[in-house]
Amino acid sequence: MVKNQRRRSDKSRCGTYKDTAKAVNIHPTIKFGILVVQEYIIDNQLGVREPIGMSGVRLDTARHIITGAVTALQNIQKCIKRCQLEVDAIMLQPLVCAEAVLTEDERIGRVRD
């Protein structure tokens, strides 16, 4: 939860939720990975997809925090480096596949049968 007396959401305020999410206590052998925001909540108003420019005092997020075992991530990176390649980013395979094949409407759940 992020409180703001200015009453208007901006990029810096929306970015603060990442810092708040990283404050979650996790085991040292687990690495914080990806933060997937499902929706923003402004003053108990649900379903906000893009809060920048909206007015409100309280900004919350519904989110998934994806973590991974530190040793598994290190082993993957070592294997890639042995192949003389560089690691730009480590991403979760289902998220990458969804990004590649789904339309914007499908990603945000606006598709109906």
pLDDT digits (tens, 9 = 90+) for 38-73: 788 888 888 887 888 888 888 888 888 888 889 998
> What confidence score (pLDDT) does residue 86 get?
93
The span from the CA of 8 to the CA of 90, in Å, is: 34
- Out of 39-48, 51-60, 79-88, 90-99, the most confident range is 79-88
pLDDT at site 1: 52
Band the pLDDT of 79: cuts 50, 70, 90.
very high
* Local structure of 54: helix, strand or coil: coil
Q: Is the pLDDT of residue 112 over 60?
A: no
Q: What's the Cα-to-Cα distance from 90 to each of 40, 50, 71, rounded to whole Å?
A: 25, 26, 14
The pLDDT assigned to 8 comes to: 61
φ/ψ of residue 76, rounded to 5: -65, -45
| pLDDT at 107 > cutoff 90 | no
The rounded distance, in Å, linking the Cα atoms of 56 and 48 is 12
What is the model's pTM?
0.54
